A and B are shown apart, each in its own frame.
Chain A
């Protein structure tokens, strides 16, 4: 290739990458500001906003709630999604194949529509701002991630191995748990990770159906961002960025072992 298009390519790439990363770097720097203003660079370094986050019972409650809800939702989603992927992988039935597409609809329907619809249903049956309601909504929304990820794992797994175990007199469930699951574990874990992050991060649906004692962190953050640009958000953001960073490294390490997603 001539050198000028190559140069152009790298310059554009660098600019776009700066565009991608810049806001994240700035948030981390802002979180150590001592000022309530959004002045950049910060006048002096302080941990004021970290104290504001970790010292506020309201923020801590919301964080803990979100974490708890995400764990429960993951525990619910993973077995359901894995079972469905298992069935979809080996069933020859046309019906199962056709129904498979249905399991992907939660990521195809715009979230705002999900949120409005779920809210209208929940308002009728008294599930608004309940743990049950939130967990079910999160489980439904993240099911496709578990399903796709586990299905990908099963596709690259040789099902004959399970049949061999069964022909040796092991029942089907044990054969699955002892033979199949250990081998598709990376894709199950990836699916679980997606489900967990998805639930932890879910904002739009939470805006409609969380609240009161069941406040979630993203909902509180959204309210705070819309109302006032409280610098506490910067410290929370930095904590979240650290978590995303750790998860990203974890998932890329996993990705090397099995390209599940």
Chain B
């Protein structure tokens, strides 16, 4: 190119740039084209349904109305269910941190073989259908199930405990489903803490509590946040376990949505309930996104 006279070089440059720009645009178009089917799938089968829900939530008959939202605040059936859902989600999240932390920590500090075993024992239920696990809890928790029979036989209790068809059963069943979602991000965070740091803490004479508070806890914080958000959000919209273990009582918002759609054909009411849940989830994701990118959290699921 340098052999060419200067004028020609100057003349050719814009067309070169143009060609490069054209090629780049073509390239970009191709990427968009490759991206389009996925986008279309999500827009058609997620975008439209959500749009319809939003639309329906403001409609009764042929006119616009706020009655579906007003009802949620006026009728105790609705706000009580929201309250209960929040309560149970918070409890499940806290319990899974409390129970998940030792597990994740043990897996992180154990020898490779033990660590693999611990993770496998968490993985197995994780890969097992939620329905299967719920069935298992029905067997374990019912009035003549193994917990009650064992306790009765041991003489610890003389009346069977009410473990099934209630809040306790829902809590246990949900915790079992949610725990792996807490353990995996926690394990990822804790196993990144350098072993020397822990040893340094100990060798400097720090008590285990001190090392835990000053070293382990701050460094595993991202794992705790990711796990908690995951568990909390999944709990908010959880349907199967509360419905099957709850003894026919409407405990969670999800059941309220299902019943309004399938039993009462109240699409407006169901949509409003769903929209509030959706907005709640969006706000949580938006707030958390400032601390931890959403892709990271979702990727762990």
Contacts and interface: CB of A to CB of B under 8 A. Distances in A.
User: Are any A and B Cβ atoms less than 8 Å apart in their complex?
Assistant: yes
A23 B140 contact: yes
A226 interface: yes
Interface in A132-153: 136-137, 139-140, 143-144, 147-148, 152
A197 B127 contact: yes
A52 interface: no
A114 B46 contact: yes
Residue of B41, B44, B118, B239 ringed by the most chain A CB atoms within 10 A: B41
B243 interface: yes
B122 interface: yes
Contacts of B238: 110
Nearest to B278: A113
B38 interface: yes
Given A112-B257, A116-B257, A13 B103 contact: yes
A226 B244 contact: yes
Nearest to B137: A23
Contacts of A110: 233-234, 236-238, 254, 277-278, 281
Interface stretch (B4-12, B62-70, B144-152): B144-152
Interface in A4-19: 5, 9-10, 12-13, 16-17, 19
A248 B298 contact: no
Contact of B49 (A99, A118, A143): A118
Contacts of B106: 9-10, 13
Given A10-B106, A108-B298, A21 B124 contact: yes
B37 A38 contact: no
Interface stretch (A43-51, A54-62, A183-191, A201-209): A201-209
Interface of B: 28, 30-32, 34-35, 37-39, 41-42, 44-46, 48-50, 52-53, 56, 99-100, 102-103, 105-106, 118, 120-125, 127-140, 142, 144-146, 149, 176, 179-180, 202, 208, 233-234, 236-240, 243-244, 253-254, 257-258, 261-262, 267, 270-271, 274, 277-278, 281, 285, 294-295, 298-299, 301
